[in-house]
Structure 1
Amino acid sequence: MSLYEDAVLVLKGYGAQGHGADPEQHRLRDVYLEHLAAHPDGVYKPCRAGHITGSALVVDPARGRVLLTLHKKLGMWLQMGGHCEPDDATLAGAALREAVEESGIASGLTLLPGGPVRLDRHPIPEPCNWHLDVQYAALAPADAVAQISEESLDLRWFPYEEVAAVADTSVVRLVEATRARL
Structure 2
Amino acid sequence: MSLYDDAVLVLKNHGEQEALRGAYLDHLAAHPDGMWKSCHAGHVTASALVVDPERGRVLLTLHKKLRMWLQMGGHCEPRDTTLAAAALREATEESGITGLSLLPGGPVRLDRHPIPPPCHWHFDVQYAAVAPSGAVQRISDESLDLRWFDYDEVAAVADKSVVRLLEAARARL
TM-score surpassing 0.5? Answer: yes
SS of equivalent to 1:27: helix
Q: Which runs of 4+ in 1 moved over 6 A?
A: none
SS of equivalent to 2:165: helix
SS of equivalent to 2:46: strand
User: 1:13 is aligned with what amino acid?
Assistant: N
Structure 2: distance between partners of 1:154 and 1:128:
26
Residue aligning to 1:121: 112
Residue-by-residue CA offset, 1:98-127 (whole Å, 9 max, x unaligned): 00000011x210000000000000000111
Structure 1: distance between partners of 2:20 and 2:144:
30
Structure 2: distance between partners of 1:124 and 1:47:
13
Residue-by-residue CA offset, 1:55-106 (whole Å, 9 max, x unaligned): 000000000000000000000000000000000000000000000000011x
1:57 paired with 2:43, answer: no
Residue aligning to 1:95: 87
Residue aligning to 1:72: 64
User: 1:63 is aligned with what amino acid?
Assistant: R
Which residues of 2 match residues 1-182 of structure 1 at below 5 A?
A: 1-15=1-15, 19=16, 25-105=17-97, 107-182=98-173
Percent identity at matched positions? 79
Q: In angstroms, what is the RMSD of aligned CA positions?
A: 0.4
Structure 1: distance between partners of 2:119 and 2:96:
28
- Between Structure 1 and Structure 2, how many residues are aligned? 173
Shift of 1:143: 1.8
Shift of 1:26: 1.2
Using the size of structure 1 for normalisation, the TM-score is 0.94
SS of equivalent to 2:169: helix
Using the size of structure 2 for normalisation, the TM-score is 0.99
- Return 5+ residue gaps in structure 2 as ranges: none
SS of equivalent to 1:165: helix
Residue-by-residue CA offset, 1:152-181 (whole Å, 9 max, x unaligned): 000000000000000000000000000011
Structure 2: distance between partners of 1:180 and 1:138:
13
- Return 5+ residue gaps in structure 1 as ranges: 20-24
User: 1:131 is aligned with what amino acid?
Assistant: H
